[in-house]
Amino acid sequence: MSLEIMFNAVTLAAVTVSRHVTSSQILASSEFSESAINSMLTGQIFALFIIVIAAAEIALGLGIVISLYRSRETVDITRANLMRW
């Protein structure tokens, strides 16, 4: 859970910094330069990457729970203290 909160904080910071840097680059120059256009979506792409990592983490956790249920026929954590087959 705390890892998800840290991922969300980094995502929010990346999108915010990307928006601020892009708007300051546009205000500094009178025309859209190629570097300003390329940096417009940098934070959003990084946020999408973090969301994909979080989805993979959830899929891994779900796979562990399904495997535990198939081997022990329960998801009670007190009966599943050993991860042996």
Quick: pLDDT tens for 4-59: 888 889 888 888 887 777 666 666 666 666 666 666 677 788 888 888 988 998 99
pLDDT at res. 62: 94
pLDDT reading at 85 higher than 60: no
The model carries a pTM of 0.65
Q: How far is CA 42 from CA 10, 15, 18, 22, 37, in A?
A: 13, 8, 6, 9, 10
Characterize 45-80 residue by residue with b for buried, 16 or more Cβ atoms within 10 angstroms of its Cβ, and e for exposed. Answer: ebbeebeeeeeeeeeeeeeeeeebeeeeeeeeeeee
Burial bucket for residue 43 (CB in 10 Å: 0-12, 13-18, 19+): buried
Q: Hunting for tokens 């399904």 — which residue is that?
A: 66
pLDDT at res. 60: 95
